[in-house]
Amino acid sequence: MFRCFISSILFLAMLSCAKNNVEADLVKDSDSHPLTSSSSVAEPKLDGYTRTKLNSEVTHVQPMTGIVLWNDNDHKKDSYVQLEFSYMLYSDICKKKGVFDWSAMDKLLKDVASRGHQAVVRFRYTYVGKKCAVPDYIKKLPDYKETKGKSEGETTYFPDWSCQELKDFHMEFHRRFAERYDSDPRLAFVQTGFGLWAEYHIYDGPFKLGQTFPDFDFQTLFLSAMDGWFVKTPWSISIDAADGKYAPFRKNKNLLNLKFGNFDDSFMCEDYDDENYQNWKFFGTERYKTAPLGGEFSYYSDYDQEHCLDKSGIHGRKFEDLVKRVHMSYIIGNDQPEYQKSSRLTEAGKAMGYRFKIKDYRIKSKKGAAILITNAGVAPIYRDAWVAVDGIRGSYNLRNLMPGEEVWITIDDSKISSSVKPTIECDHLVPNQKGIEYDASVK
């Protein structure tokens, strides 16, 4: 759905293992943490273990989830914010062939991380009423012919996807992007696509496959490569790619096996069931198990923006119900501070993504601890995370814990005391970020 108003395959497999150029103090080495434990869905033999009182509560929106504000929003420091969104321009990174200056990206990530937040980034070429963000050296080529057209009544420029240099640049850009930032904890999620706002459509304007929009062969090449380039950072495309007019998925169902997530840029709109949800279903009702699902509140009308988070719901649907239905982890709600109180934005944010709950906690002197933990949220956590006791991590990776599932984790710790409490550790957090919490009421 759309906003209203508003050359070779072989080299792809030879991906570089270059070190990411990120700030060293933001990257932790998980190998430095001891890891001695086992896990089981069934209750393990716990002879001699004593149930230990444990009380805890999830008090804030969890990392990598919640209501997302743009990084220039005056409310970006508000307590409910964990993620900040920004468009980025290809032309800001590359001006000469083969020369990539990532200072604009580095500046953004440093700024976002300074607030204890992480970034959701979407590079784009086309934006209503703006020049095309294709690098200047490509625009000067004789075989590059940009299209000037109208979109939403404004003069808008569209890239020339018949130009091989643009295709080659697009591939090299994302390969280098992944090499540099795939392990960077300041980057939570990457969104990508083509067309207006990189939302996988040109709903209003001069659409021509292979010219103002890339042909299916190139899209297939690019999407397949992304699946290999971004190994740690989840990447997503718009649910509008379900439209066979724009994308190759209906003709090539094998592409659905790629591990991308989805985002929906008109969430909570009136026609959600008939349009949006059908696109969600096309990409698979279990896609959330391997990749995050996100979006943005509908701009179809002012009414949608003003009431999308009303407790009573909008268009016969409540936000929390739809979030649970599609297993959504985050959503851009840049205008919501104008319409909702901070308490409501916190409440809505906490309803998204994962939410851990420790249901049982037992300790055995000179032996260790046993923890029964469940995911009471609507989606998994999409980064490696572990239960830890006394700094010793359990071997079970919590990213594998799906909503509604529970698992026993035992941790060997000969020096354990009855006063020690479990924590949840994740290396993909930034300094001063509010960490991962859990609920517990063990008597």
CATH topology for 63-350 is: TIM Barrel (3.20.20)
> Going by DSSP bridges, is the β-strand pair 83-89/392-393 parallel, antiparallel, or unpaired?
unpaired
- Mean pLDDT value of segment 196-220: 98
Q: Positive or negative CA dihedral for 250, 253, 254, 258?
A: positive
Instruction: Kindly give the residue spans of alpha helices, DSSP state H, lying in 71-163.
Output: 90-93, 103-113, 136-139
The closest alpha carbon to 198, from 85, 99, 72, 288, belongs to 85
Domain boundaries, the chain: 24-58+354-442, 63-350
Q: How far is CA 295 from CA 227, 317, 373, in A?
A: 20, 17, 29
**What is the structure's pLDDT at 97?**
97
In this predicted structure, the answer to whether residue 313 has a pLDDT above a threshold of 60 is yes
Question: How many other C-beta atoms lie within 10 A of the C-beta of residue 403?
Answer: 18
The answer to whether the CB of 374 falls within 8 A of the CB of 380 is no
- Mean pLDDT value of segment 241-267: 98
Give me 322's structure tokens.
């739809």
The answer to whether the CB of 252 falls within 8 A of the CB of 206 is no
**What is the structure's pLDDT at 39?**
61
The answer to whether the CB of 371 falls within 8 A of the CB of 37 is no
Q: How confident is the model at residue 16 (pLDDT cuts 50, 70, 90)?
A: very low
Q: How confident is the model at residue 418 (pLDDT cuts 50, 70, 90)?
A: confident
- The whole-model pTM stands at 0.91
Residue type present at position 383: R
Give the chain's mean pLDDT.
92
